[in-house]
Amino acid sequence: MSTGTLLAIIIPIVVVIALVAVAASLLVRRRKLRERFGPEYERTVENADTRMAGERELRAREKRHDSLDIKPLDTSVRDRYARDWTSVQETFVDHPEDAVHDADRLVTSLMDERGYPTQDFEQQLKDLSVEHGRTLEHYRAAHEVDELSVRHQATTEQLRGAMVHYRALFEELLSDGGQARHARA
């Protein structure tokens, strides 16, 4: 065979192998993002212009999250938060709206204590999504009811549901679920 014929065979084969490797790499990266973000993966991709843009957003969240100083809680701090949560739950019986507001403040305080920025709710969601993507929908639902209750438009059942939702994220943050990736070597 001539050199030209060999090149005509080898070059397409190398190109096909390279394309397969790139496609496999993209699929692996997509699978890892889906596993990491859970339902937040689909939500982000659906809200983006393209799947690639959504995945780029998720990778940017990971990068930002890695730059945060997320830390576990000392046992004494964890115990204090657990007592505070019990107190908030006890308040619910007589003052459900106040309890929901207190639960929101307590979750925000706990986030701050762990090292999450807490100034902007949308940014909170993005930062939490990296390690708490599976409980993030709880936080959204609870926050929505909290906003309704500020206007005294939430039913007692909605308020009760908000407490359950807040508790899901609160317990995960309290138990150090989803510690910073660089701390998990």
Within a 10 A sphere around the Cβ of 98, how many other Cβ atoms?
Answer: 14
In contact, 159 and 97? CB cutoff 8 Å: yes
pLDDT tens string 128-161: 999 998 889 999 999 999 999 999 999 999 999 9
H/E stretch holding 26 reads helix 3-37
Confidence of residue 1 (pLDDT cuts 50, 70, 90): confident
Residue whose structure tokens are 């576990």: 72
Kindly state the DSSP code that residue 73 receives in the 8-state scheme. Answer: P
Residue 123, token pair as written in the block: 């940014």
Global pTM?
0.78
Reading the block at residue 36, the tokens are 């990491």
What type of residue sits at position 166?
Answer: Y
Banded model confidence at residue 106, pLDDT cuts 50, 70, 90:
very high
Hey, what are 78's tokens? 């964890």
Mean pLDDT of 62-75: 92
Helices (H), 39-179: 39-47, 51-67, 75-92, 96-114, 121-132, 136-150, 156-174
Question: What is the radius of gyration, based on Cα positions, of the chain?
Answer: 23
